Structure 1
Amino acid sequence: MTDRARESALQEAAIAALRRGDAAVARAALHDMAAPPPMLLAQACNRTGDWDGEAAALRRILREQPRDLPALLAMGQNALRRGDDREATRWCRAAVAQAAATGAPPQLQPMLLQAQAILNNASARFEDHLSAAISDLPALPRITLATDLLLGKSQLYLQQPSMFYFPGLPQRAFYEREEFDWVAAIEAMTDDIVGELNAVRAGAADFAPYVETPSHGPAPNNPLRDDPSWGAYYFWQSGKPVADHAARCPAVMAALDLAPRPIIAGRSPMALWSLLKPGTHIQPHHGLLNTRLICHLPLLAPSDCALRVGAETRAWRTSEMLIFDDSVEHEAWNRSTETRVVLLFEVWRPEIQPEEREALARLFEAIDQFGPAEIDTGG
């Protein structure tokens, strides 16, 4: 018998022995081979409880094929049997990632489910371990966010303005009302502004669509284009007051004068009532700039309406200002049966110095003079 024939006969004997459940005979046959197939050897070692032998055979496979999915899955199970939870987690994470990238045949699905369960259990134990380490400390929002990011419970969202990025600004989704000395005075005017809103809507409940198809240029890619479900009633638009709206709503105009709004020819100030009808969802999107903050003074704020900015979601509450960075991915929805309306306007970010504001205003004016000014379309 030739060496090749002998190797083939021993391999067939080992396979037959494994199929009938005789792992010891299979291992003896494989031991007699000059070069036993490593996966076959790993299976025989597994069935005889030789976890070190199984791991050694699997490592031979992974040295040649580091992304071999059956070997990755088997290594995760092997580490778990050897009591090494951390090592099991590493192999299972690699296996699940590989399966997500390339897919997995049906016969491996049970092992993939086991790998995911191992990861879930490890994550829960890790979270308990970290929580215990800081359990005696007071609530610290930044520590909580950092821990959630580490555990994969939260996603990292950063400023991604669609037109202009100003470097060096803090990555914050929301700012708090108490940080600005002008907010309380505007909030105190809510009842007067709501009175003006009711008077305007008594004549026409709908506003013009927030996103409209321009007379020149491409149409915005937004499912709410030309849809008054997301409506706008402007007081300042493209840096100019809307005279008839301003005349009807002196309380709104007085309130806006209290805020540190940008003054940029052809662009800012910008201020409006933003209306969201029941069942309307503004899809996730980024604003044009990260040099400003968007302010919402809630006027009509039914329950089950909310704004998500980055990883944080907040509900509107009548007369309580929401202030956020719209260059971070955000979306909004009205899942109630009533209409939501906020007074929306922009202010300079407080971290930008006066001389920088002047330079930015000149830059934005020059940008708009060079070509068609970009406008927010919610898309």
Structure 2
Amino acid sequence: MTDIIANTPLPEKSAPETQDFATAGIAPMDRPSAITRFFMGIVAWAEGLNFKYAKLGNPPVYDNNVFPWAKEVEKAWPEIRAELDRVLVRQSELPSFQEISTDVQTISKDNRWKTFFLVGFGVKSEQNIQACPETWKAVQKIPGLKTAMFSIFEPGKHLPAHRGPYNGVLRLHLGMIVPEPADKLAIRVKDQICHWQEGKALIFDDAYEHEAWNHTDKTRVVLFIDFVKPLRFPARLINWALLNLAIFTPFIREGLDNHKEWEKKFYAQAEALRNRG
């Protein structure tokens, strides 16, 4: 494991890794669409295949060495951080995650989790990419890139235990701004407590139950990446199809539309300020 991971001790004889395909205490949002219900039924079946045919196994947290490109992304940290600093000048105007993806309301209702998307579910935010060209260049090194954004946890934010909607992707966090003290800032993935470090990558499977918290008095930021999980055939083919079809589901279309509306207002305000100057 990388040096950013502190493992919670396990019993001497532990059971094989399994994934629970639900999170206790958190009900999914009601989606009455027949298309969505059908799609989610297929997803449940595909998750079993993904678990069975995973090329690298199914650990909650991965050793970065199995992804050689991770070091290349880490090398770009200074340039990414410089672009992030420019984004944070307008931090108060950035959208809360649930303003973009309303399903996030099941785990986050306040305004202390801000986002700045470069790409979501494979759909680019062209203006945000223009604002962060070096960040975009760096994330192109990630095979199977699906989502890239800055994830901004403001002071006091605690994201409760939950699991991701689908185990066909893995997640990378590149520590951008990591305030002290370390014991008040962490993410738990299954039974491992992980601490971010600036310029270091943390790669984990968000299909395991996880929670994150920032109990410091400063803002924490990571570059948040979802990329396609390495799978063997036939799961690889089915996963490719599902990830490409997902964009047509109502909750993802809604999220993309919400982001377009925010983006339009955000850059219109910037243009108005420039013209006034």
TM-score by length of structure 2 reads 0.70
One-letter amino acid of the structure 2 residue matched with residue 158 of structure 1: T
Equivalent residue, structure 1, for 2:131: 248
Q: Secondary structure at the match of 1:185?
A: helix
The CA distance in 1 between the partners of 2:123 and 2:136, in whole Å, is 12
* Cα distance between partner residues in 1 of 2:132 and 2:206: 26
2:18 maps to which of 153, 158, 161: 158
TM-score by length of 1: 0.52
Q: Which has the higher strand share?
A: 2
SS of aligned partner of 2:106: coil
Match of 2:80 in 1: 193
Q: Point out which structure has higher relative CO (alpha carbons under 8 A, 6+ apart).
A: 2
- The CA distance in 2 between the partners of 1:189 and 1:328, in whole Å, is 28
SS of the aligned residue for 2:143 comes to: coil
- TM-superposed CA distance for 1:338, in Å, is 0.7
Cα deviation, residue 313, structure 1: 0.4
Name the CA distance, whole Å, in 2 between partners of 1:219 and 1:324: 22
Q: Higher helix fraction: Structure 1 or Structure 2?
A: 1
Q: Does 1:312 find its partner at 2:192? A: yes
Shift of 1:293: 0.8
Q: What's the counterpart of residue 51 of structure 2?
A: 167
Contact kept, 8 Å, 2:246 with 2:252, in 1: the verdict is no
* Structure 1: 4+ residue segments shifted above 6 A: none
* Structure 1 residue aligned with 2:217: 337
Identity %: 25
Larger radius of gyration: 1
**TM-superposed deviation, 1:365:** 3.5
Which secondary structure does the structure 1 equivalent of 2:193 belong to?
strand
In the superposition, relative to structure 1, how do residues 365 and 311 fare at CA in structure 2: closer, same or farther (>3 Å)? Answer: same
Q: Is contact 1:286-1:328 (8 Å) kept?
A: yes
Structure 2 CA distance for aligned equivalents of residues 185 and 336 of structure 1: 30
| CA distance 1:228–1:293, change in 2 (3 Å) | same
Cα deviation code 1:167-189 (max 9, x no counterpart): 31433110022221101111011
- Structure 1 residues 219 and 313: alpha-carbon distance in aligned structure 2, compared to 1, 3 A threshold: closer
Alignment of 1:259-274 (within 5 A): 259-262=142-145, 269-274=146-151
Kept after mapping to 1: 8 A contact 2:147/2:227: no
Structure 1 position 238, deviation (Å): 3.2
* 1:230 equivalent among 113, 117, 120: 113
CA RMSD across the alignment: 2.9
> Does structure 1 residue 372 correspond to structure 2 residue 250?
yes
Residue 309 of structure 1 and its aligned partner are, at CA, apart by: 0.3
- How many Å separate the matches in 1 of 2:173 and 2:17? 21
Distance 1:220 1:363, change over 3 A: closer
Residue 362 in 1 paired to residue 241 in 2? yes
Gaps of 5+ in 1: 1-140, 151-155, 263-268
Contact 1:239 1:270 in 2 (8 A): yes
What's the counterpart of residue 147 of structure 1? 12
What is the rounded CA distance, in whole Å, between the counterparts of 1:192 and 1:280 in structure 2? Answer: 27
For 1:194, what is the secondary structure of its paired residue? helix
The total of aligned residue pairs comes to: 218
Q: Distance in 2 between matches of 1:205 and 1:194?
A: 18
CA distance in 2, matches of 1:244, 1:293: 26
Offset at residue 358 of structure 1 (A):
3.7
Match of 1:204 in 2: 91
For 1:107-122, list aligned pairs within 5 A.
none
List alignment gaps of at least 5 residues for structure 2.
Answer: 1-5, 23-39, 256-277
CA distance in 2, matches of 1:322, 1:271: 14
Does the aligned pair in 2 maintain the 1:173–1:310 contact within 8 Å?
yes
Q: C-alpha displacement at 1:261, in angstroms? A: 2.0
- Alignment deviations for residues 5-43 of structure 1 (CA, whole Å, 9 cap, x no partner): xxxxxxxxxxxxxxxxxxxxxxxxxxxxxxxxxxxxxxx
